[in-house]
Structure 1
Amino acid sequence: MAAWKSGHYERSMALIKYHLKRTLSGGAIPRSYLFHEVLTILLEIENIINSRPITFESANPLEPRALSPADIIKPYRNNSPIEITPSEKMDDPDYNQNIQSNSQSLITTWEKITSRAKNFWIRWKADYILSLRERYKKLQPSAQRWPTINELVIVHSDTLPRSNWSLAIILEINYTENHFPNTAKIKFLSGNITLRSVHHLYPLETTGELNVDKNQTKKVPLTSPRPNSSPNTLNLRKRIVNKNC
């Protein structure tokens, strides 16, 4: 991978670290957590990050399937049960009997963990969505990014629950009098069809890389001959010879 292509991933890591710090601290004064609380919060945040759609499988263009890092790490995570080997010990050496496990303490712990995970989701998602358009601009500084038909995009929404993404496929694009895309007719994965502004549609994480690869394959080598080019000849004027000299 070229060095200039790693900027987006460094930017993504910076966003995760920044919002992770803000989530766990909640301000200038750091908060105190138990070990199992921190571990649970980190696992929830890991699930949030790995559930983001980065590309899609287009075997059926009308019903594309979004793919996330979690689909690649564990393709059958939704169908496979947790495997427990017979030799696995059931005793937990980290178990603390002094921690209360009554109803109120469990509810308090659950509320604290879900609140921190939701806080990270809201903060990180907003910056991640904006970074998608910045990524394409850095890959192609001279080109302007417009949505295309049959493209799977992320639809802007402020009311989504945690780890859920509003995905839709573009069916039609409406243009202005100046031939700029204005609105798009989109179809959500649930089947609902609606009209949205193109400014509320965001490309997936790997869309910019695909477009760059396609443009690079179309480039003509500099050493190739130019079509219909004339030979390199000089048109010199005729020399007049004076015979009377």
Structure 2
Amino acid sequence: MSHDDDYVDYATPEPGTRTRFAEGDNDARYDGPRRGGRVSPSRAMITVVGVVVLLIAAIAFANRGGDSQDDGKTTADPDTNTQPTSPTGDTPAKTTTNGIPSGFPQSAAGAQSAAANFAVALGGDQMFTPEGRHKLVDALYTPDLAEKTKTGMDAAYSEELLANLGLDAEGEPPSGMTFISRTVPIGTTVKEYEDGAATVAVWYTGLIGLAGPDSDVPVRTTWHTWTFELQWSGGDWKIAADSQKRGPAPVPGDVPAATDEQIEDAVEQFGGFTYAR
């Protein structure tokens, strides 16, 4: 998969996903003391913008699979593309693996559900710790790609990048602060589909930053399109390759920014969703 700056196909879906509440509570909580000191004042709040861009580019490079194979794939049928928001009747996921929905239907709708939930998992704070990152990669990527992806991601989530986000080398926030990273899909669209392979784009917004007293890395919103090449493997959809590109981003609204305490409380109180096409 090419570098994200070379990826030119934007997903521009109409509203087309519905949501179901997840069975478990997957929101990030930090109940104990954290390692590391206060964030250095030299890391001004604008650093987070550059860090997010760097992270997206690094992960896109680390996650590159083999060359795309277009032979045998058919262009997505309009009926499997963006649709008005309405139930499809497909159960989004039958089971969970490491807390992640799994057992998606082998259909275009199932591939979209899988891609949306993969974006949520890979955009969460669990990705910033080595143990959590490896569990996610093992659960979501094809077996022949998982080991390579873990190596690439470990390099992408470098100590320098973590430090710029206010985290220590193990991905932990300073004492008294909460690191927030959450992905919220807006919609999905099928680029290509056949029984054993699908290319699905997920348009999403995200939150990333440190919430706490005098944080130098405030929680900000991001907008990206995440494109997944999925393969049917072991009775479920798995990631064979993926790439990201910034946008499309709407004009910011005029809602006043919340305080760090309000953001931290909201993330702890409001759990995430299981997404379904």
Q: Report the structure number with the largest CA radius of gyration.
A: 1
Structure showing the higher helix proportion among its residues:
1
TM-score range, shorter chain: under 0.3
Structure showing the higher strand proportion among its residues:
2
Where relative contact order (Cα < 8 A, 6+ residues apart) is larger, the structure is 2
TM-score (norm 1): 0.27
TM-score (norm 2): 0.25
